[in-house]
Structure 1
Amino acid sequence: MDTGLLTGLLNPTIALALGAVFLMLWFYQRHCPYLAVLAASYWLSAAGFLLQYFTLPIGMAPTKLLSVTCFTIAASGLAGAIVTRYGRRVPFVAIGFLASGGLAAFCWFMFIQPDLTWRILAMNFAFGGLSLVVAAELRVVRDRGPAEMMLFVLSLLSGLNFVARTLVIVIAHGPYQSYDGFYASSYWTTALLSHALLSLLIALSLFCAAALDVMKTLKAEAYTDPLSGLLNRRGFEERATHLLRHCATAKLPVALVLADLDHFKAVNDLHGHAAGD
């Protein structure tokens, strides 16, 4: 097996592994469907890379179209999942416009007016646009924590990677006339390496976000009463200690109010403990 193919198999291997991890996370967090979408997106990305190297019996051109379709659906799913993770409304119109526009341009330069260079530019600009859409959505939540800031920065870098890197390399080493020698070109080599790096960094940021979600849930369960949602003794003591320390430092007054409901036992006796609770 030649070195080029070994390098080419790097991305699908990484994508398959990341998809499996996201699927495992989803099994333990079924209330987070975005994790399942991430798993499917990474697996579709792996299929897209494999179809770049292995031609199906349907022919070279339909195989390339199927590969690009996998990439497009994967990129759209990844964008939607990240936006959903942070409670933002998914910009379906923008994602649909970029995805369908990129595919339409690819089909035009594949079947109507064959031109490999324009196919490269069309799809990279579409993927770069999707990355920048995600960055625009994350801009309002980037200050929530390091994971959010990291994803915001990575979305910007991904957009610049798809647009700026592609333009620089196509201008410097293009145009590309056919697929002969294409997979040994500087464009494809940099595309593989940059995609592998960004995929890993984005996945690690999403893993951190998912882990923080679990930690927040566990902390809420440990510090609150499941019936009322109020702080239990452990939570109250920690919150009170923090509050008293803050008030002492800021020289602010603080008070504790205690209240008791008289004859509450009568409510339980008359209506039952479920109503009393």
Structure 2
Amino acid sequence: MTAQFFYSLINPAIAGVLSAAFAALWLFKPGEGYLALLAGSFLLCGFGFAANDFLLFLEGPALRLVVNGAFFAAVLGVCISALDRVRAPVPGLGYAAICAFAALVFCWFLFVQPSVEARVHTMHLGLASLAALTVRQLLIARPTSLLDRFFVALGAFSVVLAAVRSVAVLVRGLDTSPDATARVSPYWATVQAITPAVAIAVAIIFMVALAARLIGELRMQADRDYLTGLLNRGGFDKRVLAVLDAETAYETAAALLVLDIDDFKRINDSFGHAVGDEVITAVGGVLQRHGRTDLVARSGGEEYALFYPQANRSELAEIADDIRIGLRSMRIPSLPSSHAVTASIGIHLRRQAETLRDMKIQADKALYQVKARGKDAALIASCERTTVPIG
């Protein structure tokens, strides 16, 4: 076995490993269809190299079509994957037109007017066109993250690489004629040498992007309550503190609303914890619909918290009324229709440079007063640290 034989194994082996890696990732994340497409693309790339280097006894027009078609389909798959990853529209007609044009011209220079060099330029033009169209679609999708910009840069690099290789062939810097001893042209040798680096770079960028997305999902899940989908206490505090830190030390427009389901223990004791979970979930839904803020949390047990970066007393009173009306109209299938779910609400408007902890203490005091006065009501803590009933 010659050194060329082992050299020819490099690309199929790398492509096979990458294909298997993306297939495994797809099995782990079946909702990400582009992972399966990437697995197929790398498999096609490996097949193209293997066919070109090891099926020499089939050398002829048919093999040229198969090999170049495999490479073209592999690049098309990567382009579609890059768009699908960010849910950008796939320009099906544009891709189809490029593929059809490249196929027709390639076949012309394969069957009608045979020319290896012309076929090389045809492939470069077709691949560059695929990459350029993909870059255009990615830019239309407005990349925001650094990783998204890497995909744009990779597409632009592919266009430049194709152009440089065509120029090199034109000026005879790369000869497309095979060497008499090695049976490999200098052009094909550069393809074999460059492709592993490009393939690994593409794979790394896709894998890093997937890892970043998974980490983001895990962080989001860590900040969310498993039952209601609302923020949990940690996620709520983190986001509220970020808002307060961004405000001036004397900002007083922020407000905190805390809510506690009335007689929740009796619901659990009388109807079971499964029904109690239904109530907790339903109340969370009411707060999402009527709370008028994205900063809604289940802060613990049957307790909830809502934060308002900008609010005044009249708006808060209106929100509290909307929430209470929403709770009255709420229907829990497992609860008797005669059993109404009510809640007590305490509200506090932030004073100069108060911390979130200070706001919670004052809102809780208002909530405790509601409980002491008979529940199913709302109170706003006044500036004198007393409370004013609403509703």
Percent of paired sites with the same residue: 25
Closer/same/farther in 2, CA of residues 176 and 25 from structure 1, 3 Å limit: closer
Q: Give runs of aligned pairs for residues 175-186 of structure 1, distance below 5 A.
A: 176=176, 184-186=184-186
Bigger share in helix: 1
Deviation digits for residues 54-106 of structure 1 (CA, Å, limit 9, x no counterpart) = 22765532112111111121111111111111110011111111122222222
Q: Give runs of aligned pairs for residues 27-66 of structure 1, distance below 5 A.
A: 27-55=27-55, 59-66=59-66
Deviation digits for residues 201-231 of structure 1 (CA, Å, limit 9, x no counterpart) = 1110100111112112212221113443321
* Larger Rg belongs to: 2
Aligned partner of 1:8: which letter?
S
Secondary structure, aligned partner of 1:256: strand
Would you say the 8 A contact 1:138–1:152 is kept in 2?
Answer: yes
Give, in angstroms, the shift of residue 170 of structure 1. Answer: 3.2
Aligned length in residues: 275
* Residue of structure 1 in register with 2:244 after alignment: 244
Indicate whether 1:97 and 2:163 are aligned.
Answer: no
Scaled by the length of structure 2, the TM-score of the pair is 0.63
Greater alpha carbon shift after TM alignment, 50-59 vs 63-72: 50-59
Would you say the 8 A contact 2:102–2:126 is kept in 1?
Answer: yes
Give, in angstroms, the shift of residue 245 of structure 1. Answer: 1.4
CA distance in 2, matches of 1:39, 1:66: 19
Secondary structure, aligned partner of 1:9: helix
Aligned partner of 1:103: which letter?
A
Would you say the 8 A contact 1:41–1:74 is kept in 2?
Answer: yes
Greater alpha carbon shift after TM alignment, 207-216 vs 223-232: 223-232
* Residue of structure 2 in register with 1:108 after alignment: 108
Say what the alpha-carbon RMSD is for the aligned residues: 3.0
* Residue of structure 2 in register with 1:164 after alignment: 164
Secondary structure, aligned partner of 1:258: strand
Would you say the 8 A contact 2:176–2:188 is kept in 1?
Answer: no
Indicate whether 1:270 and 2:350 are aligned.
Answer: no
Would you say the 8 A contact 1:51–1:64 is kept in 2?
Answer: no
Aligned partner of 1:207: which letter?
M
Give, in angstroms, the shift of residue 254 of structure 1. Answer: 2.1
Give, in angstroms, the shift of residue 252 of structure 1. Answer: 7.2
Would you say the 8 A contact 1:68–1:103 is kept in 2?
Answer: no
CA distance in 1, matches of 2:105, 2:181: 23
Give, in angstroms, the shift of residue 8 of structure 1. Answer: 3.1
Closer/same/farther in 2, CA of residues 146 and 181 from structure 1, 3 Å limit: farther
* Residue of structure 1 in register with 2:357 after alignment: none
Give, in angstroms, the shift of residue 263 of structure 1. Answer: 8.0
CA distance in 2, matches of 1:196, 1:252: 59
Greater alpha carbon shift after TM alignment, 180-189 vs 152-161: 180-189
Give, in angstroms, the shift of residue 185 of structure 1. Answer: 3.3
Deviation digits for residues 133-175 of structure 1 (CA, Å, limit 9, x no counterpart) = 2211222456422221111111111111112222223322466
Greater alpha carbon shift after TM alignment, 53-62 vs 96-105: 53-62
Aligned partner of 1:195: which letter?
T
Closer/same/farther in 2, CA of residues 97 and 245 from structure 1, 3 Å limit: same
* Residue of structure 2 in register with 1:230 after alignment: 230
* Residue of structure 1 in register with 2:350 after alignment: none
CA distance in 1, matches of 2:183, 2:224: 57
Task: Structure 1: give runs of 5+ residues left out of the alignment.
Answer: none
Secondary structure, aligned partner of 2:171: helix
Aligned partner of 1:83: which letter?
L
Closer/same/farther in 2, CA of residues 183 and 81 from structure 1, 3 Å limit: farther
Closer/same/farther in 2, CA of residues 252 and 43 from structure 1, 3 Å limit: farther
Indicate whether 1:23 and 2:23 are aligned.
Answer: yes
CA distance in 2, matches of 1:161, 1:3: 27
Q: Give runs of aligned pairs for residues 124-273 of structure 1, distance below 5 A.
A: 124-141=124-141, 143-173=143-173, 176=176, 184-248=184-248, 253-259=253-259, 267-268=331-332, 269-270=335-336
Give, in angstroms, the shift of residue 261 of structure 1. Answer: 6.6
Deviation digits for residues 105-141 of structure 1 (CA, Å, limit 9, x no counterpart) = 2221111211111011111111111111221122245
CA distance in 2, matches of 1:191, 1:122: 15
* Residue of structure 2 in register with 1:70 after alignment: 70
CA distance in 2, matches of 1:177, 1:189: 11
Deviation digits for residues 221-256 of structure 1 (CA, Å, limit 9, x no counterpart) = 211134433211121111122222122469574221
* Residue of structure 1 in register with 2:12 after alignment: 12
Closer/same/farther in 2, CA of residues 184 and 58 from structure 1, 3 Å limit: closer
Deviation digits for residues 25-71 of structure 1 (CA, Å, limit 9, x no counterpart) = 10110111110000001001100111111227655321121111111
Secondary structure, aligned partner of 1:270: coil
Scaled by the length of structure 1, the TM-score of the pair is 0.87
Give, in angstroms, the shift of residue 5 of structure 1. Answer: 3.7
Give, in angstroms, the shift of residue 181 of structure 1. Answer: 6.9
